[in-house]
């Protein structure tokens, strides 16, 4: 078997050689945050092809919340591999799909009877949630928020609220997508201002009777880890109910224990009509889901929804194990405690003169972030600073991601199964990377 530093052919593999092959074979449009190539990963650690070890504070962009290669998840996937790998649920159904749907129907915080359908990616889940909402309401308009990220298909690109790199140059996007500012205090947008903009939109451009759905991330992910204030989500719920609009919560990044509850929207006590999920659900295997009110989900005619690979039996088996692990290891509680550790550390860093100036420590549970700013006490974003810290952290052995509409935010997405000593090790590296 190939080891961390030996190629299948027996010759040593080097990151630099693979990078050269990568740039020759793969288009520039897909970027990679780090210059190394993975060879092996376990829980919160990754080794590259040269045998270098990294503490992983990215978890494959919020996917490996149960850690890389959780033994139970791997065992469940392996057991399924020995049965069959694919039939397409549209050709011959299988129990893991049904069992996972039943499980999500019991867990997702939507009122009343529920149904669930599976897809492959977060974007596909959002795309299909919009299709379902359009059929269920007979309307086409969709409201989305500034700074939102919902994916890279054409509809989800239209819903996404950041031009570069996601929208620029891709031409005409699906229409009747309306944008409202997302409440972020340090950008000067209050809950009241956001709701006033919605009111203006309804009066000037988009009659509420033409709107099928509002799509909202309870905690914005790529937009910078901004938690929607509970009062805001409650107000959206009221507006949706009043106008017959469906509320779609996109929990692709915030879901599955990351914020200290199974779903972030539960912090606000709000019940959406539809919930989109992906990422951590599969524990490293690709799967996405839409769960919604049964009468809404059943509005679509037979054949109107589907996907060749959606709800792969291997991913469904893995996801069932992920849900078991979340429950048995009480990962919501672990997320809350990781969040407390991170918050205390970041607040300490924000007061130190020997570190780069950071501000706006924020987050929900273990979905934590802060901004790198130009000077202490200012709100002026320093995206180059954030990029430098992430690059320096990588050189020191920590994988750390940036985000935010200016790229000024460093976000922390540790596996929730991370042992305390690895968490401490990663934080110590981050502190060194922040040194001026």
Q: Which residues bind ligand PLP (CB under 6 A)?
A: 61, 121-123, 126, 149-151, 217, 221-222, 250, 252-253, 278
User: From the CB of 238, what's the least distance to ligand PLP, in Å?
Assistant: 23
398-399, strands of its sheet edge to edge: 38-42, 45-48, 53-56, 398-399
* Residue closer to ligand PLP (CB basis): 221 or 224: 221
The residue behind tokens 């589907």 is 306
Query: Is the Cβ–Cβ distance between 65 and 415 less than 8 Å?
Result: yes
* Residue closer to ligand PLP (CB basis): 208 or 282: 282
User: From the CB of 288, what's the least distance to ligand PLP, in Å?
Assistant: 6
User: From the CB of 6, what's the least distance to ligand PLP, in Å?
Assistant: 32
Query: Is the Cβ–Cβ distance between 313 and 86 less than 8 Å?
Result: yes
Rounded to whole angstroms, the Cα distance separating 13 from 36 reads 11
Rounded to whole angstroms, the Cα distance separating 414 from 64 reads 8
Specify which residues 364 forms β-bridges with: 367
Rounded to whole angstroms, the Cα distance separating 38 from 331 reads 26
Q: What is the largest CA-CA distance in the chain?
A: 68
User: From the CB of 432, what's the least distance to ligand PLP, in Å?
Assistant: 28
* Residue closer to ligand PLP (CB basis): 226 or 237: 226
* Residue closer to ligand PLP (CB basis): 208 or 404: 404
User: From the CB of 61, what's the least distance to ligand PLP, in Å?
Assistant: 6
* Residue closer to ligand PLP (CB basis): 250 or 408: 250
User: From the CB of 232, what's the least distance to ligand PLP, in Å?
Assistant: 16
Question: Which residue minimizes CB distance to ligand PLP?
Answer: 122
User: From the CB of 370, what's the least distance to ligand PLP, in Å?
Assistant: 19
* Residue closer to ligand PLP (CB basis): 217 or 273: 217
User: From the CB of 406, what's the least distance to ligand PLP, in Å?
Assistant: 18
User: From the CB of 76, what's the least distance to ligand PLP, in Å?
Assistant: 21
* Residue closer to ligand PLP (CB basis): 195 or 216: 216
* Residue closer to ligand PLP (CB basis): 150 or 261: 150
Query: Is the Cβ–Cβ distance between 44 and 65 less than 8 Å?
Result: no
Q: How far is CA 322 from CA 35, 77, 169, 218, 254, in A?
A: 30, 11, 39, 22, 15
Specify which residues 250 forms β-bridges with: 276
Query: Is the Cβ–Cβ distance between 118 and 309 less than 8 Å?
Result: no
* Residue closer to ligand PLP (CB basis): 179 or 345: 179
């Amino acid at each position: 078997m190939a080891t961390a530093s030996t190629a299948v052919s027996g010759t040593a593999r080097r990151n630099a050689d693979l990078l050269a092959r990568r740039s020759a074979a793969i288009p520039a449009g897909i970027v990679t945050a780090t210059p190394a190539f993975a060879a092996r990963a376990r829980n919160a650690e990754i080794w590259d092809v040269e045998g270098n070890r990294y503490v992983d504070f990215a978890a494959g962009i919020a996917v490996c919340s149960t850690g890389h290669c959780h033994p139970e998840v791997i065992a469940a996937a392996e057991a399924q591999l020995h049965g069959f790998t694919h039939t397409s649920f549209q050709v011959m159904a299988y129990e893991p799909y049904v069992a996972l749907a039943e499980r999500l129907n019991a867990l997702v915080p939507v009122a009343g009877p529920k149904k669930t359908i599976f897809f492959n990616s977060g974007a596909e889940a959002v795309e299909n949630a919009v299709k379902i909402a359009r059929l269920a309401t007979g309307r086409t308009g969709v409201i989305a928020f500034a700074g939102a990220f919902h994916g890279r298909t054409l509809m989800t690109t239209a819903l996404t609220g950041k031009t570069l790199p996601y929208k620029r140059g891709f031409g005409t996007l699906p229409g009747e997508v309306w944008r409202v500012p997302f409440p972020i205090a340090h950008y000067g947008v209050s809950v009241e201002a956001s709701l006033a903009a919605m009111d203006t939109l309804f009066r000037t451009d988009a009659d509420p009777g033409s709107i099928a759905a509002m799509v909202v991330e309870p905690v914005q992910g790529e937009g910078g880890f901004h938690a929607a204030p509970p009062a805001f989500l409650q107000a959206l719920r009221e507006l949706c109910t009043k106008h017959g609009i469906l509320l779609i919560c996109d929990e692709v990044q915030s879901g599955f224990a990351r914020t200290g509850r199974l779903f972030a929207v539960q912090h606000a006590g709000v019940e959406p009509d539809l919930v989109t999920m992906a990422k951590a659900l599969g524990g490293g295997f690709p799967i996405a889901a839409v769960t919604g009110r049964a009468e809404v989900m059943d509005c679509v005619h037979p054949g109107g929804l589907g996907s060749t690979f959606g709800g792969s039996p291997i991913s469904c088996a893995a996801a069932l194990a992920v849900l078991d692990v979340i429950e048995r290891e009480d990962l919501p509680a672990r997320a809350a405690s990781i969040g407390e550790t991170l918050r205390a550390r970041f607040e300490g860093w924000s007061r130190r003169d020997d570190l780069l100036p950071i501000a706006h420590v924020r987050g929900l549970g273990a979905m934590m972030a802060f901004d790198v700013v130009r000077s202490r006490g200012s709100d002026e974003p320093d995206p180059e600073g954030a990029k430098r810290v992430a690059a320096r952290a990588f050189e020191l052995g920590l994988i750390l991601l940036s985000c935010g509409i200016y790229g000024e935010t460093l976000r922390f997405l540790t596996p929730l199964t991370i042992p305390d000593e690895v968490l401490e090790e990663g934080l110590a590296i981050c502190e060194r990377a922040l040194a001026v």
